Structures are given as C-alpha cells and as structure tokens.
Structure 1
Amino acid sequence: MAAEGAPPFFTESIIFLAATVVAVPIAKRLGLGSVVGYLAAGAAIGPFGLGFLGSGEDVLHVAELGVVLLLFVIGLELDPQKLWRMKRDIFGLGTAQVVLTGLTLYALCFYYGFSTEAALVAGFGLALSSTAFALQILQERGQLSSPYGQRSFGILLLQDIAIVPLLAMVAILAPHEGPSTGQDIAIEVATIVGAIGAVILAGRYLASPLFSFLAASRAREIMLTAALLVALGSAGIMHAVGLSMALGAFLAGVLLAESSFRHTLEADIEPFRSLLMGLFFVAVGMSLDFSVLVDNIGTIIGGVFAVMFVKGAFLWALTRGSGSSNSDAFRVAVTLPQGGEFAFVLFTAAIGAQLLTFETANLLNSIVILTMLMTPLACLGLELIAERLKKSGVENPAIETFEEATPTVLVIGFGRFGMMVAQIVTSEGLEVRAIDNRPDRIAYARKLGYKVYYGDATRADVLAAAGADKAALIAMCIENDRVMGQSIDLIREGFPNALVFCRATDRAHSLELTRKGVDYQIRETFESSIAFGKAALESLGTPAERVAQIEEDVRRRDEERLALQLKEGIFAGADRLHTVTPRRRSTDVAPPETVT
C-alpha cells in the first residue's frame, strides 16, 4: 500500500513505471518487441513474482480501456467502403479460422478429459487471438497496412465479434433453473439492435457537428475530452447491452473515419492508447501464476505448442487457400497464433457459470500468456529465415501493388492557394491529402468534393497521422509565417524524405524559407504580378517581343536582388528595382522561345 499521506496508487504507479522503463528497452534491444517487455515487467512485480504489487485483476479492468481506444483508432483508419471491401476476409476467412480452430482444440481438450461443456469453452476461447498483441506487433513493424496486415486485421475483427456469441454459448451451457422465454430473447435482441443503432446514428449525425463546434473554440483540451467521450461513450453503450466494448469503440471509429477530424482525433487518442495498452500487458503479466506453471509444466508446455501449432496451421492453410502468397500466409500464421485477451473474459464468465473450475481456468490463462510470450520469438524466427533467403537471392518486392507505388502529396493549408495546388496535382491522378485548422474552410472544401481534415500543422503527431511519413511531397500553403516555420522544422526532423514546397507570403518570408533550405518556394503574388504587368504593357501597345524581353530581365534582376538580400539584408539590391530593360539590338541573338 501507499505510504501514509501519499495519493492513492502513488507508490504502485512508481513501481509500474520503473518496471516498464527497465524491461521494455531490454526487450526491444533483444528484438522481442515492447509487448514482451510489458509482460515480463508485470510477471516480475506481480504477486507471483517479486510480490511488489497485489493482484493485477483490478488493474486489468482499467487497462482494458487501452484495448477500447486501440480499436477506436483502428476504426478511424478504416472508412466504411474499405471495411466493406474487407468483408471476405472478415466473414469468410475469419469465421473459418475460429470455427475450424475452435473445433480442433475442443476435440483435443475433450480427449484429455475435459467435459463437453468445458472443452467447448476452452477450445473456442483458445481459438481467439489477441487483438491488442497482434496489432501492436504489426504497428511496431509498420506492417498494418500491408496485404498480410490487412488480412490479419480482418481475422482479428471477426474474433472480436465472435466473443458475443461465445459469451451467449456460455450462458446457454450453464445450468439454468428454467429456460428463457421467447419474449425474453426478443427483448434482448431488440435492446442490442437499439444500442447499435444509437451508436451509428450518434456517430453519423451528431459527432461531426459537435467537433466542428468545439474546433471553433481553438481549445485543444476540449477536443481531446470530446474524443475520449465519443470513444468511451460508444464502448459504454455496447457494454451496457452485453456486447464487446472494443467492438463499440471500433464502430464509432469507423463512423468517424470520413470525418474531417479523423487525423486530430487519432493524434489526441494515441498517447492514452499507448499508456493504457502498456498497463494492460503489465496486468496480464501480473496474473501469471508461477506455482501453477511449475506444478503443471508439462501440460502447459504441451498446451502452448498445441495451440500455436493448430492455429498457425489453419491460419497458413486458410490464407494460402484464399489467395495469399506463401510468404504472406506464413506471416499471418506467426502473427496470430497466440491466445487473446478475450479468452480471459470468456474463462472468467465460464467460472461464474460453473463450467470451469478456478484451477482449470488458471491453467488455461497460463497457456494464453505463454503463447503471447512465444509469438514475438516466432516472428523473429521468420525474419531470420527471410533474411537468409534474401541473402540467397530470394526476395519479395518492396512494393506489391501499383497503388502503393503512387506518390502522395500532403497539402497543408487549403485556402485559395492550396486548393489550386490540389487541383493541379489531382489532374495528374496523384493522391492528395490535405489538412487545415479552420472548420469553415474545411466545410467549404468538402462541399466541392475535396477530402480535407482538421489538423494543427505544428504538431508532429497530427502530421504523422495525416500521412507525412508516406508523402513524397509536402506543400506548405498556409498564410501564417510563424506556423509555417515551426511546421517546416518538424517536417525536416521527423519526415526528412519528403520534398518541401512552400508558399511565401512576401519577400522577407521568401528569404527565410531559402535559409531553411526548402526544396522550392514562391511568393504568392509574384507570378500573378508578372502576368498583370505583362497584360498592362500589351494593352498599352508594347510589342510581344519587347514584353517577353522585359519579363526575362525582371526575373533575372529579382533573382540577383534575392541573392544580395540573403547576404546584406532586406534593403540590399534596391538599385535593381528601377533599371530600365535595355532594348535588344537587331544584331543580338534572340533567346529561344519557351514552349508551354
């Protein structure tokens, strides 16, 4: 317990933080990933380790919010059209994996002495993979958007949905005093449908106007509060009717995926998600009972290898048979062979329904935790094999689809300047993403068919969420010189591979951008002023040849003046402003015409 006078959980928080600060970097250095570090930290400080903390069950209830926020963020990254395109992986591949794996593990459990009811719960509970664990691995390796990453996500999503009928199975298998009436079932179904409808309607018609209203206040903390409210509120509605909280948060995220605030919401939620996900894995590690592990070491090791082999074999066969390459099928197989966090939920419900004893559930929980620990080792082994194959000349191409090869342009600032830039870039068929911090401008652009998102260009997390890490070129079209300067510094530091093209508001700003070393910059009125002056001369009767000569000379003198100003200050080179362009003599060779 915390010392007298200290805030509640103060000492416990210090122990949590110290353990993770030590364990996670070591695990990352060994190539095992941060998740193994969190699990090891929890096992070390938990009641079955060094005993610094008591049961992790209370912590787990709070830490499960990390899974909720993870699914909300994943939902933000999927628009409904993309989700519909994944229906084959979700409902076909995912359902086949759960059913086939569950029945096979059920048969094994039944063979080793489980009752029919206990074997069903154990088999299908072990058939579920860890959404939190697998997605964390995919995100750390930058593979979530890859073909095999998307197929893995489709399977995981179906497994999250599957927890609902599996919990219903536990209720059906449990001994009842009397059967449920048809009216009770109808009321329960109507309640579930009503909850799902409420989340859909709120996400579709209320969330975006709410965020538009709050964005006008320019109060970041209010936007953050609203983001948490939407994620946790939708999860709470689903939980109230007996559905998965993670599923409710995911649904809310999908409904907001086409909102102009998706990138800001993602950036705001991410720190809370990361912290709570770490806490979740620490709590899972704390629940690993070493006495059960020692007393049943043979059974547990056999169970770990049986679960991972059965799941891995079915995952490889199903993904291979449904069109994936052999390498992608193996990647899916080594990413999803572990037990999942929903297995803990299912086994706990089975204890309450008297289908599993506490000792059996503890045994199954140990198997689940050890499969989690083994998964990064399996991934590491596959990477080593792939590296050897690569050295032997067998190598997969880095770009597997033409869509991935298409460069993207991130436009920051979508006023009249940014809109014209976007129009030109999209005319070549390139993908354009755009962010702005004015809700009225975003609403206007969306009415014209542009997908523009709300975002602060001075936040590296927002730039990353908007796709700056994947952009081939970043077009800085904002009016505020100070904001542009801060954003350029962030881009140069965090996304050095992107070309940076800038709109300069005036001559002083142009000089500043030149000093920052941007790839291209232009004063916003320079070209329009040149065109205006040429039109004036033509209207006054100046020959076209003379107008072209003047334009060439003015551009040359402007470049000379900029070079002088970089060295001597803003007032240098003033003499270049008032020089009359010498007339070209008839003996002079005219410059070649520019083909436009």
Structure 2
Amino acid sequence: MNSGFTDILLLLAIAVVLVWAFRKVKLPAILAYLTAGIIAGPDIMGWIADPDEYHFVAELGIVLLLFSLGLEFSLPKMIAMRGQVFGLGAGQVVICTTLFAVLAVYFVEDWVSAFIIGCTLALSSTAVVIKQLGESSQLTSKKGQMTVAVLLFQDVAVVPMLIVIPLLASSSDISMWESLGYALLKGTGVVLVLMAIGKWVLPHVFREIAKLRTDELFVLATLLVALVAGGMTHLFGLSMALGAFLAGMMLGESKYKHQLEADIRPFRDILMGLFFITVGMQLDLDVFVANIHWIIGIVLGVGVVKLVIVRVLAGLMGERKEDAWGSGLMLFQMGEFGFVLASLALSFKLFDQTTASILVGVGVFGMALTPLVIQRCKSFVSYIIRPTTQPEEDNLPYPTDEHSRVLILGFGRVGQTIARFLTNEGIDYLAIDHDAKRVQEAVAGGQKVFFGNAIRRDILRAVHADEAELIIISFADDERAIDVLKAIRNLNEHAEIIVRSRDDVRLKAMMEAGATQVVPDTLEASLMLVSQILSRSGVPIRKILSRLDHARRSHYGDMHGFYPGETTDMDPEKLDRLQFLHAVSLPKNAFACGKKLIELGLEDLNLQIKSVRRGEQEFIEVHGDFELMTDDIVLLSGGPRAIEAGESYLLNG
C-alpha cells in the first residue's frame, strides 16, 4: 500500500478517535486536532515526517474560515454595536498588543518577533468562546454580548495582521510605511474590484444556479468564489484569507447567505481540522516540556492582563462591574487565529521554532481551560468582587416574614406576565428573583419582588413557603427547578406547585420531586397552535377546551414522543431522556407475528404501542389480547435505545 495513503489513513483514524474522546469530556475539537498532530508528528510516531507537504491544503481551511467569517460579518450589526466593538474591542486589541509586544522584546530581543507575539496573544478564541457561551446559555447575556463585540473586532483585526506579517518579512529596501501604503493601495483596488463583482455579477450567477436546484453546483460555485477571491488577493501579494473574507462579506448581505454557510461548513471544518493538525505537528515536544513552567506562567499572565484591561475599559464605558469582569474572564485564552499568525510568521522565518512551540503550548493550555472558566464564570466573578458588592446587595429588598397566597419563584418575562394577570384579578402574590438588577427595576416599578435564591431554605421560610397555597416555578432551568421542588416539599407537602419546563424531557423527574403540574414550553406552544387551527377549522370552542384540558390532566400523555430527524439533537446526555416514535413493519417471518401483546411483554422494555396499522385500518387503543399479524405496522414509543431493542425483539425475538 502506498505509504502516503497509509499516513493519511492513520492520521484520520487518530483524529476520529481523539475528537470523539475530547467531545466526551466536553473539550473543544481544536484540542483533539492539535493532539493528533503532536502524535502524528516527527517527535512521537513520525507518520508525517514533513508537515509542509500538507501546508497548502491546510491553508485552504483558513481561507474557508475567513470566508465564513465574512458571511457572518454584518455591517448593520457592527454599526449597532459600534460602541462596544470600536470602543471596548479596539481598546483591548491595541492595548494588549502593545503591552504584550513591549514585554516580549525583553525575551526575543527583536521588535518584529515581539510585535507578532503581541498580536498573537492579544487575540482570543472566537470558535471556542462563542460555542461555550451558546452551550451555557450566556450568549444573550450582557457579558456575553460584550464578549462577542470584542471577538468581532478581533476577527476584523486579524485581516490587517495577516497583511502586515508578509510585509515584515520582506527584504525590500522600501521602508515599512511605504510598504504599508503600497499594500493599502493594492488592497483598496482589490476590494473595489471584488465588491463590484459581488454587487453586479455574483447575485446573477447564484440566481441562475439556484434556479437549477442542483446542490452540487451550488457547493462548487461557493468554493470557486472563495478560492478565486483568495487567488486574486494572493496575486497582488496580499493574504488569500483576506480575499476570502471580502468574498464572504460580499455575499453576507445576500439571500443566499445561510445556504452558502451551510454548504461551506463541512469543507471548512475538515480543512480547519487539518490545519490544526499541521500546527500540532510543528510543536517541538522537547521545547514544550522544557518550557512548561513558562507556558503555564504566560497563560496565567496573559489571562490576568486581559481581565484587567477589559474590566477597566468596560468600567470607563459605564458597564456593570459583574459584566466587565465576566467578559474579561471569558477572553483570557489565545485564539485559533493566534495559531494562524504564529504559523505564518514561522513560514516567513520571523521567529524560531522554540518561540512557535511555546505559543502553540500557550494556545493549547488556554483552550483546554476555556470551557471550565466559562461554565464557572459566575462563581469566579462572585469571588473576585465579593468584598465590593456586599453593600449593594444589602440595599436589595430581602424577604422578611412576608405572607402571600401565591408565591412566584423567578421574575423573568414569564414570571412578570403571571404577576400582571394575578394583579388584574386582585390576587395577592409575592415574587423572588436572584437577579439584582431585575429586582431593583421591579421594586422601583412598584412590584412586590424580593432578592434571593429560591433553593435556599432560609429564603423560602422567610416568605412562608410552608404556608403558601400555590407556588409557581417560572424559570426554565429544569435541573434547578427539581432542586427547588425538593426544598419546597421538605417545608410544605400540601401546596400546589406548578412548574415551567423547556420540554417534557424531565417531566417525570419533576412529578416525582413533587410538582402538581408541569407546563413544558414546547408542548404548550403545540397546544396553542392546535387550538388556533381547530378554531379556524370550525371546531366548537367547548370541544377544543375539553381536548386541551384532557391533554393537561393526562400530563400530555398522548403528546410524548416524536419522530426524530436529521436535525434532532442527539446529545448523549439527553438521549436517554428523549421519547421517540418509530414505525416497525412486521414481515412474514417476524417473531411477533401471531403473538398477543400480553405474550410479548413490551412493558418490560419500557415501550408503549401507540397504534397498529393493518392495511387501511388503524387500531389506536390496543390491549393485551390484541394479536399481531403479518404486514402489521407497529408504532412504538420509547427511548432511542428501548426502541432499538424493541424493534429487534419484534422481528427476531
């Protein structure tokens, strides 16, 4: 077998195993690719003796990454967030780059290398941070928005950095400023040409391609546009990534934006993976191990500097200190574009292999810590500002021996809506919320809201939760709601407790924890749609209300289970709690043919039979004495693994 083919095969195999393993422990895939590169590189297994062989293909990953970034780059969004983007973002990049470059001069004794190190360390990881913000539901928070604004400016700042590095390596006699001016002139010309093509040519091209409804042609055209734009800027002596970014920006305002992004993503992710593998191959393990103390020190030092700078800048802009500290904490790591800059500088021999290996090590350590830091961000911030926030918290209204028939736990949008309706009906209520700003705003507006964490028993006793007749848990945090339910039931066994939930995944657990009624957002939205549809279809309102009441009284019994699709979230942590529907057709020699349901005992597999279709007939309610026949189609309801086992049992025994 060809040795090159064997090398690629081994590389893919180790990448697949490592990505799976890293995702299982909730670490970014980028770290898996870097580790795969380290293992495959010359220092360990030596499968790939010369990483430069794959450099061009890996560079295409950067081109497609910048193309995707251009697609997401929205001028209106930039204008709307201009204060944070150009104030906080620009300040962070400029100050951090300058400070890190000045510090680096003492170690590398070369201002060019020091400047590139400053640029590299000033950037944070857009891919890892935004993914973690989304997974931890902090993307729409104030600190999340501030973090995104800084990352947005950093991503834009990468473009001039990519232009400057080749100029710094130039051996021309022309001065640096003349080179920059010349590059700016060339860049302006290329931008104008590409923008003209994007405005007057590409929309017509993609319109014609879209009419043919050929996915392959659309994908090919997308790749061609990204690569041609990159090739044009490369011809003018600029970065290929810059051309790809401009091409993406041109198409970002078109109606094809989302389709283009979906088409390019698989190629981008695979090629980006290859790029990070080549970065890992460049890591000199001897240097890495010898300088591990420096690497850890740089990660901590860079993190502290970024934290303080973002805190000070955000404070000057009038942001809350909790949000300022939180945003600074999230941006502590070196980003994936840092690897790009380090790799580019190394290829132009602007600094040595030792420096590159140390920077790669800094990036690896930072990215490994990022998921933990973002998930625990609130705890870290609370610890940092604990001494200074105590007086403010003392000014918040805490519950002290307050009574009310109705207790609302959580005063977000849903809790406030409930409160308005109760007020309109003259029903007294009392609310608790742990968001200090929200409580202050609500109290100023005349609402009866107190600051406190509903899981704490001293808070529950202070509002006499042991005597309340009706308690509503209105926040959509299912795990926290279960803990609150247990705390309430230890105090009050008789109150009716209505719990809001995102879906029906933890409905059973909530009922077991003491909920009187669980109201899942997803299922209730379905019921509201159904009521509107039935009403407009001429069904009497009394009948509609009866159907809705039956669904709620049966705890949405008929609504559990759904047919999964390609877009269904198959997160292993959620998989065991999901309820799927699956149709099983019984062929002639199936084990279940001729057997009664009571003989099969499907209940032991945690399965339900929703219906059985026999030709044109459909049997909705089937019982133990119902006999299955050849060509019956059995609709099973249960967990994914139970359904797999049930199908195998019905067919093979």
Q: TM-score, normalised by structure 2?
A: 0.54
CA distance in 1, matches of 2:348, 2:259: 43
Aligned to 1:276: 271
CA shift for structure 1 position 314: 2.0
CA shift for structure 1 position 184: 7.0
**2:210 aligned with 1:210:** no
Paired amino acid for 1:190: L
CA distance in 2, matches of 1:228, 1:98: 31
Paired amino acid for 1:102: T
CA shift for structure 1 position 149: 4.3
CA shift for structure 1 position 242: 4.4
Paired amino acid for 1:218: R
CA shift for structure 1 position 139: 5.5
CA distance in 2, matches of 1:187, 1:175: 13
**2:258 aligned with 1:263:** yes
CA shift for structure 1 position 102: 1.6
Describe the superposition over 1:61-106 as per-residue Cα deviations: whole angstroms up to 9, x where unpaired.
4234334334433443454322322333333222211221122212
SS in 2 for 1:256: helix
Describe the superposition over 1:129-183 as per-residue Cα deviations: whole angstroms up to 9, x where unpaired.
3444444544555655655444434333433443454456556766856335998
**2:18 aligned with 1:37:** no
CA shift for structure 1 position 518: 6.8
Q: Is the 8 A contact 2:41 2:49 kept in 1?
A: yes
Count of aligned pairs between the two proteins: 426
CA shift for structure 1 position 215: 1.5
**2:283 aligned with 1:288:** yes
Describe the superposition over 1:294-351 as per-residue Cα deviations: whole angstroms up to 9, x where unpaired.
2223333322322232223323433454354444434433433222344445445555
Note the 1:291-302 alignment, pairs <5 A: 291-302=286-297
Of 191, 194, 215, which residue of structure 2 is paired with 1:196?
191
CA shift for structure 1 position 292: 0.6
Of 349, 352, 362, which residue of structure 2 is paired with 1:357?
352
Paired amino acid for 1:275: I
**Pair 116,274 (structure 1): closer, same or farther in 2 beyond 3 Å:** closer
**2:227 aligned with 1:232:** yes
Q: Is the 8 A contact 1:36 1:376 kept in 2?
A: no
Aligned to 1:421: none
**2:286 aligned with 1:314:** no
Q: Is the 8 A contact 2:330 2:377 kept in 1?
A: no
**Pair 286,138 (structure 1): closer, same or farther in 2 beyond 3 Å:** farther
**Pair 103,344 (structure 1): closer, same or farther in 2 beyond 3 Å:** same
Q: Is the 8 A contact 1:160 1:244 kept in 2?
A: no
CA distance in 1, matches of 2:248, 2:140: 17
CA distance in 2, matches of 1:11, 1:194: 45
Describe the superposition over 1:102-134 as per-residue Cα deviations: whole angstroms up to 9, x where unpaired.
222123223446334433332233222344444
**2:334 aligned with 1:339:** yes
Aligned to 1:178: 173
Note the 1:327-406 alignment, pairs <5 A: 327-347=322-342, 350=345, 355-382=350-377
Structure 1 unmatched runs, 5+ = 403-471, 473-494, 503-516, 528-550, 557-566, 572-596
**2:162 aligned with 1:158:** no
SS in 2 for 1:52: coil
Paired amino acid for 1:124: C
CA distance in 2, matches of 1:337, 1:97: 12
Structure 2 unmatched runs, 5+ = 385-392, 397-408, 417-501, 503-520, 545-612, 618-653
Describe the superposition over 1:12-59 as per-residue Cα deviations: whole angstroms up to 9, x where unpaired.
343233223322232223232333333333333333333333344444
CA distance in 1, matches of 2:17, 2:132: 20
- CA RMSD in angstroms, aligned pairs only: 4.7
CA distance in 2, matches of 1:153, 1:102: 19
CA shift for structure 1 position 520: 6.2
Q: TM-score, normalised by structure 1?
A: 0.59
Note the 1:518-557 alignment, pairs <5 A: 521=533
Of 83, 89, 93, which residue of structure 1 is paired with 2:84?
89
**2:9 aligned with 1:14:** yes
**Pair 196,291 (structure 1): closer, same or farther in 2 beyond 3 Å:** same
Paired amino acid for 2:324: A
SS in 2 for 1:253: helix
CA shift for structure 1 position 213: 0.9
CA distance in 2, matches of 1:260, 1:523: 35
**Pair 60,337 (structure 1): closer, same or farther in 2 beyond 3 Å:** farther
**Pair 354,256 (structure 1): closer, same or farther in 2 beyond 3 Å:** closer
Q: Is the 8 A contact 2:136 2:375 kept in 1?
A: no
Paired amino acid for 2:309: F
